Structure formats: structure tokens, C-alpha cells
Structure 1
Amino acid sequence: MSKVENSSAESGQVKVPESVVMTVKNFRSASDIDNFYRYINDNRLRREAKMILDTVVKAITPPKRRRRSKRVVH
């Protein structure tokens, strides 16, 4: 391990290169995303792409916590 990796591992923080960091604002303007949208549109794959993205979002979204019903004491 290099000195930089070792110090970041000790502190519990992970160093992420600035090129990897995406904000919501610049996500849609990224060239890869633009090319993806263009490919989907040109090949008329909107329905299939939506089905795939819905499946991916459902898989990565954490399950909602259920509320416990309140006990009524009479």
C-alpha cells in the first residue's frame, strides 16, 4: 500500500477522483449520458430502456420500513 492509500484507510475515508464525482446538475450534460440517450432515441428503445431502468432502480432502492401498529391499552 502506498502512503496515501494507507493514511486514507486508517481514517476510514475513501478518496474519490474528481473525474468520478457527478452532481445532479452535470449528470445529464455528461457525454456518456448524452450518447446513451441518443442511442436509445435513434433505435426506438424507449420502452425497453424504461423497463430496464425501473428494474435497476427497484433493485438498488432500500426497502421502506414498515411502521409498527400502536398498541391500544384499554
Structure 2
Amino acid sequence: MTTELIQAEAIKNTKNFRNSADIENFYRFVHENDLRFEAKKVFELIMQAINEKTKKKTRKSRKVQ
């Protein structure tokens, strides 16, 4: 496989991850076992960890003379 094909496939998979069978089974498991509150907390922790890694540094303000 070429790298272009691999990259295109990766982009396709990340955009449609909710349509995958694994995610659908996870949502079904959460719903059937009434774990919505716990799943929300887990997702919040994951998003917090991701956002900390991708947080951009702000530029220092310049003093006007």
C-alpha cells in the first residue's frame, strides 16, 4: 500500500468512527447497563487529557511605550 492510501483510509476511519460496530456495541452496553453517568465522566476525563496535550501556548503581550 502507498502512504497516500493509508492516510486516506485513516482520515475516513476517524471521520466515521461512530458508524463502526465497536462504538455501536459500546453505546449499547452503556445504555443496557445504565452506565450513562459513568461513561460521561470517563469521556470528560479523556477529553480533559487530550485538551491539555493540545493546548496552545499564548503569546506574551508587548508593552507599549
TM-score using structure 1 length: 0.62
- Give, in whole Å, the separation in 1 of the partners of 2:56 and 2:38: 26
Aligned residue pairs total 59
Aligned to 1:70: 62
Give the number of the structure whose residues are more often helix, by fraction. 2
Instruction: Compute the displacement of 1:42 (Å).
Output: 0.9
Name the residue aligned to 1:29.
19
Unaligned segments of structure 2, at least 5 residues: none
RMSD: 2.5
Cα distance in 2, alignment partners of residues 52 and 64 from structure 1: 24
**Greater RCO between the two (CA within 8 Å, min separation 6)?**
2
Identity %: 42
Structure 1 consecutive aligned stretches of length 4 or more whose deviation exceeds 6 Å: none
TM-score (norm 2): 0.69
Q: Distance in 2 between matches of 1:30 and 1:23?
A: 10
Stretches of structure 1 lacking an aligned partner (at least 5 in a row): 1-12
After TM superposition, list the pairs within 5 Å mapping 1:34-49 onto structure 2.
34-49=24-39
